[in-house]
C-alpha cells in the first residue's frame, strides 16, 4: 500500500489500520462461506483440525470466536508466526507440528493459488475449492489432489479416499 498506492504511513501502521477496519467489518458481519460451518463439523467428527492462515492473528482469533468454530480446531497458525508466508509451506508445517502429525498424513483445504501451492509444498493431500472471485490459475489447480466445486462437496471420503 505504501509503495503502490503512495500512503505515507509506515508499513506497521498501515497493517494495523487494515486489521482494525477488518475487525470492525467482521464484528458487523462475518464473511463466512455458506456451508463452511457444516463442513468443519463434518470433518472434525473424524480428524483433529488445525487452521493455517495468512490472516493476522487478531483476525483469526476474532473469526474463530465470533463464528463459534474455534472449538473444532485443536491448533491454529498465522503466517505472521512463521518465517515465510504462503506459497512457502511454513504455516502448514507448523500447523501439522502443533497437531503432532506428520505432514504427509494431513490434508489441507484451500481456496487460493498460494494456499494450494503451500499445502502441496508441505507434502499434504491438497483439496482445492477455488474462490470464484479470485480463481487460482490452472497450474495451481493441477497441483491439487482434488478440486471441488463447492465446500458442500467436502466430505471425509475426499479428505481420505483410501
Tens digit of each residue's pLDDT (9 = 90 or more) over 62-101: 999 999 999 999 999 999 999 999 999 999 999 999 999 9
pLDDT at 11 over 80: yes
Q: Which domains can be identified in the chain, with CATH numbers? A: 1-31 (no CATH), 33-159 (3.40.50.1000)
Write down the pLDDT at residue 135.
93
CA distances from 49 to 11, 16, 72, 75, 121 (A): 32, 28, 7, 7, 19
151 pLDDT tier (thresholds 50, 70, 90) = very high
- Is residue 83 a contact partner of residue 105, using CB atoms and an 8 Å limit? no
Name the average pLDDT for the chain: 95
Confidence of residue 128 (pLDDT cuts 50, 70, 90): very high
Question: Taking the model in full, what pTM does it have?
Answer: 0.91
Section 127-149 average pLDDT: 95
Query: What local confidence, expressed as pLDDT, does residue 117 receive?
Result: 98
Amino acid at each position: 500500500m505504501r509503495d503502490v498506492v503512495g500512503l505515507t504511513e509506515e508499513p506497521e501502521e498501515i497493517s494495523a489500520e487494515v486489521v482494525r477496519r477488518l475487525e470492525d467489518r467482521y464484528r458487523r458481519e462475518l464473511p463466512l462461506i455458506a456451508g463452511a460451518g457444516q463442513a468443519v463439523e463434518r470433518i472434525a467428527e473424524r480428524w483433529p483440525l488445525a487452521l493455517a492462515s495468512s490472516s493476522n492473528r487478531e483476525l483469526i482469533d476474532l473469526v474463530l470466536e465470533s463464528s463459534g468454530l474455534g472449538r473444532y480446531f485443536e491448533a491454529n497458525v498465522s503466517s505472521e508466526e512463521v518465517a515465510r508466508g504462503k506459497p512457502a509451506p511454513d504455516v502448514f508445517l507448523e500447523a501439522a507440528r502443533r497437531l503432532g502429525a506428520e505432514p504427509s498424513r494431513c490434508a489441507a483445504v484451500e481456496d487460493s493459488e498460494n494456499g494450494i501451492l503451500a499445502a502441496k509444498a508441505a507434502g499434504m493431500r491438497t483439496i482445492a475449492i477455488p474462490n470464484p472471485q479470485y480463481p487460482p490459475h490452472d497450474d495451481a489447480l493441477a497441483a491439487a489432489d482434488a478440486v471441488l466445486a463447492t465446500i458442500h462437496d467436502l466430505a471425509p471420503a475426499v479428505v481420505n479416499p483410501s
